[in-house]
Amino acid sequence: MSQSQVLGETAGRYPLSSRQQDPHHTGRTPEHVVALTFRITGVLQVDALKGALDEVVERHESLRTRVNYDETDGSLGFQEVLPPLPVPLAVHDIPVAPGRSRDEMAVDLFNKLNDEGLSYSEMPSLRASLYRFDDHDAVLTLITHHLYSDGWSGGILRHEIAACYRARVTGTPHDLPAPVPYREYAIREQEFLRSDKGAAALRFWSDKLAGAELLAMPADRLHGPDTLLPRPVVETFSIDPADFPKVTAGAARNRCSNWHVVLAALMVLANKATGRSDITLVTVNSGRSNGEFHNTVGLFADLVPLRLDFGDCTSVLDLLLLARRAGADAARYQIPFGLITEMFPDLMKKVEDPRFVVPGFNYVSASWAQDEVKSAISFDQVIPSEEPPGYFLRGAFKWNFRVAPPGEFRCIVEYEPDAFDASTVDRWGSDFTSLILAIAEKPDQDWKNL
């Protein structure tokens, strides 16, 4: 343990987690936020809502933790846990605009929030605004910095704000479990890397990624930082709620998940686009394999490489089982992505190649499925029909997958138009959703015939 960490812990300061380290000064930017929008219907007591927000900040140290970086090396520093702080709640009474429905205005507020930023040094790292159409209908927007939360944390915030609100209006205490403090995660992460299990994980990746290259899709033209246009483009490719249950059922029959079907489809798509049958995908993992932290708000999500060598696979089922195996191994041996790139500096070499674009893949998983808290108000996430673009990391090629109410599967592709034609992305996205359905329907067929 470094001297700064020893001094930090004795003064109520704790080491940074690997997710908080920021050697390239990208993670701390104001655009790196988690934005949440909820529609609240029912008689709302603003004071009780304000108290619920304050209680959630008191329960979760990450929302009142300040990260302090070394001035010369962003991978060094410490996190400092502050005392409980009140959450500023701005309340706005808004009339319904002519020609706009309340649902449309709720989506407008969602899109507006996604354009906002938040300094990583602003405490608490939870900014709230309430927009009231009337006494029974409102929109609550929340924004936190990504250094202190992630997508999974959004589900925790929704559940706990509702539970704490109900406790205040009914006078009945909630039964929320005490979360394990996020600082414990950073400490245990370091302990793991020094352990025998950590050494085994390092050996696994050393063998697994030997000679590997990240999947790089061919761009339609040379591109780079100097050719970026003002806005990225987002396209959504969907599977109807009436059809997607067949995908889930087909996966379950083979003891696989929807994520495994997605990976199998990506193998076939990558083979069609590049001719390769040995690919390494950059994926996002929730980072919460330790069940102790399932109810903790904080930044746990990390990048995880998945190497999929499917040259010897014959059937679709072979692809599914390979995906299941690769996912289980990656979760079992997960280590910080920064360590992996240090071990394999050539793994990322095509990221800078103007002829290609390296995609990233994220099956959005959040704790939204927790038991609903019965209350006098409903507390529903606002999900727009069209996803807005992100601005945190320009030049990226992001594939996000989610199941949106009432069961629609969405493949949301964000790309830079200086690198790709719209027709290219449309072909890949349409082929991908067709592959998803075909893989679930006929797992015994030869994958080369898809």
Tell me, yes or no, whether 104 lies in a domain.
yes
DSSP 3-state of 333: coil
With a CB cutoff of 8 Å and minimum separation 6, the contacts of 89 are 46, 49, 50, 53, 128, 129, 130
Tell me, yes or no, whether 190 lies in a domain.
no
Verify that 94 and 235 share a domain, yes or no. no
Cβ–Cβ under 8 Å, residues 307 and 322: no
Cβ–Cβ contacts within 10 Å for residue 172, how many?
9
Is 70 exceeded by the pLDDT of residue 405?
yes
Tell me, yes or no, whether 119 lies in a domain.
yes
Backbone angles phi, psi at 181, to 5 degrees: -60, 145
Per-residue pLDDT tens for 241-279? 999 999 999 999 999 999 999 999 999 999 999 999 999
Verify that 171 and 202 share a domain, yes or no. no
Q: Does the N-terminal peptide bond of residue 388 adopt cis geometry, omega within 30 degrees of 0?
A: no
Tell me, yes or no, whether 69 lies in a domain.
yes
Burial class (CB in 10 A: 0-12, 13-18, 19+), 153: buried
In the chain, what percentage of residues exceed pLDDT 90? 78
Per-residue pLDDT tens for 119-160? 999 999 999 999 999 999 999 999 999 999 999 999 999 999
- Domain CATH number, residue 160: 3.30.559.10
Range of the domain at 57: 3-182
Tell me, yes or no, whether 401 lies in a domain.
yes
Tell me, yes or no, whether 188 lies in a domain.
no
Tell me, yes or no, whether 280 lies in a domain.
yes
Verify that 205 and 245 share a domain, yes or no. yes
Per-residue pLDDT tens for 73-100? 867 899 999 999 999 999 999 988 888 9
Q: How many domains does the chain have?
A: 2
pTM of the model: 0.90
Distance CA 356, CA 395 (A): 11
- Domain CATH number, residue 388: 3.30.559.30
